[in-house]
């Protein structure tokens, strides 16, 4: 099969189209003939050598795919309500940049009939991440306000739509007026251009007088001090990336006085059982919204994975931060 591998740690140019042996499914796994693979920020971090591959996972990058189940553990498939030949999308711990990959059956979800494989390939990594962090760890409830940093990232466009669908007020930040407009079109109530305005001052001016209830932060670093000030009593700050740095200095007294919860997580190393619980929650609560069109995947650009330069081009665009929505590699 064809696959895109990381030949050595470095820039986008280290991504090479190569020939690999087709993987074989083990007990509890499905072999998926991949139509499309999502491209995500963690893939870039792995390429640079800063995101270790979990034990037993494929060294190939790629954390989400869509395609057809070609083989696998038929007993496990039946228990999950799936069968050979079904169109599915799947969250995986690696190996997505390839024409075939294996996935735990419990991390496979049927593709909503209204969606293409390209759209479906953009779902697992961001939807699993948002559900786990916004609704499980962040405990966002209807009527509360959430601040989403990076509203037009893959995570951002998902978080805006999911939060609105569950009755929250949404404030999003983005790096241009065009991106702010896109956030509003997705359903955000307020969009702040963090390059021309101090986002904290704008949230205080435009947001709830008593502060926001949940913050989804992909920046960390200097942002944390401002976010601690912005949170309401019993507020929750959820950190899912550290693009602004791993060190933060903030007023711990505010954490005490406002009873704040500062938490965070990475999804990739978690167990299949943990991810299975998220998959079940998504299938019950989010998949009907995808079927009805209330929540829609946002695809910014696709790349023909059979072209040697496509992996590098996709990563270059990802690192430019010019995109609004998801980037997808096409294998079919």
What is the full DSSP assignment across 83-99? -TT-EEEEE-SS--SBS
What is the chain's percent helix, strand, coil content, to nearest 5?
Answer: 35, 25, 40
Label the pairing between strands 108-110 and 145-148. unpaired
Stretch 173-178: mean pLDDT: 97
pLDDT of residue 77: 98
Rounded Cα–Cα distance for residues 315 and 26 (Å): 31
146-164, pLDDT tens digit by residue? 999 999 999 999 999 999 9
**pLDDT band at 286; cut points 50, 70, 90:** very high
**pLDDT band at 289; cut points 50, 70, 90:** very high
CA of 26: how far to CAs of 14, 15, 64, in Å? 30, 28, 19
Considering the chain, what percentage of its residues have pLDDT values greater than 90?
100
User: What are the start-end ranges of the E strands in 41-167?
Assistant: 64-72, 87-91, 100-104, 108-110, 145-148
**pLDDT band at 15; cut points 50, 70, 90:** very high
Task: Provide the 3-class DSSP secondary structure of residue 327.
Answer: strand
Contact predicate 299/328, CB 8 Å: yes
297-324, pLDDT tens digit by residue? 999 999 999 999 999 999 999 999 999 9
Stretch 257-285: mean pLDDT: 96
pLDDT of residue 146: 98
17 forms bridges with which residues in the sheet?
4
Query: Domains in the chain, ordered, with CATH?
Result: 2-123+268-330 (3.90.180.10), 127-264 (3.90.180.10)
Label the pairing between strands 299-304 and 326-330. parallel
pLDDT of residue 181: 98
Label the pairing between strands 169-174 and 145-148. parallel
Closest CA to 198 of 170, 223, 169: 223
**pLDDT band at 180; cut points 50, 70, 90:** very high
CA of 18: how far to CAs of 37, 221, 288, 312, in Å? 16, 38, 38, 14
Stretch 187-199: mean pLDDT: 97
Rounded Cα–Cα distance for residues 152 and 54 (Å): 28
pTM of the model: 0.95
Stretch 229-249: mean pLDDT: 96
pLDDT of residue 148: 98
Contact predicate 157/325, CB 8 Å: yes
80-135, pLDDT tens digit by residue? 999 999 999 999 999 999 999 999 999 999 999 999 999 999 999 999 999 999 99
Rounded Cα–Cα distance for residues 117 and 34 (Å): 9
């Amino acid at each position: 099969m064809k696959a895109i591998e990381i030949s050595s740690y470095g820039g986008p140019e280290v991504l090479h189209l190569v020939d690999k042996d087709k993987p074989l499914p083990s007990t509890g796994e499905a072999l998926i003939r991949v139509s499309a693979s999502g491209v995500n920020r963690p893939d870039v971090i792995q390429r640079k050598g800063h995101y270790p591959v979990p034990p037993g996972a494929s060294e190939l990058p790629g954390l989400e795919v869509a395609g057809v189940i070609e083989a696998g553990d038929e007993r496990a498939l039946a228990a999950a309500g799936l069968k050979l030949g079904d169109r599915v999308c799947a969250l995986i711990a690696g190996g997505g940049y390839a024409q075939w990959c294996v996935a735990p059956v419990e991390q496979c979800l049927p593709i909503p009939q209204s969606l293409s494989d390209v759209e479906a390939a953009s779902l697992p990594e961001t939807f699993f991440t948002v559900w786990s962090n916004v609704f499980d760890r962040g405990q966002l409830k209807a009527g509360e306000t959430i601040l989403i940093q990076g509203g037009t990232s893959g995570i951002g466009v998902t978080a805006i739509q999911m939060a609105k669908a569950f009755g929250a007020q949404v404030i999003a930040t983005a790096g241009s007026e065009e991106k702010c407009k896109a956030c509003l079109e997705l359903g955000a109530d307020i969009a702040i251009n963090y390059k021309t305005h101090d986002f904290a001052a704008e949230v205080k001016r435009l947001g709830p007088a008593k502060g926001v209830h949940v913050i989804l932060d992909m920046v960390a670093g200097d942002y944390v001090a401002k976010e601690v000030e912005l949170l309401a009593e019993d507020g929750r700050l959820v950190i899912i990336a550290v693009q602004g740095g791993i060190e933060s200095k903030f007023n711990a007294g505010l954490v005490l006085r406002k009873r704040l919860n500062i938490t965070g997580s990475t999804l990739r190393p978690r167990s299949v059982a943990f991810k299975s619980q998220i998959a079940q929650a998504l299938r019950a609560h989010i998949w009907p919204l995808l079927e009805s069109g209330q929540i829609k995947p946002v695809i910014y650009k696709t790349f023909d994975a059979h072209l040697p330069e496509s992996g590098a081009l996709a990563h270059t665009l990802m690192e430019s931060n010019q995109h609004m929505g998801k980037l997808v590699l096409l294998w079919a």
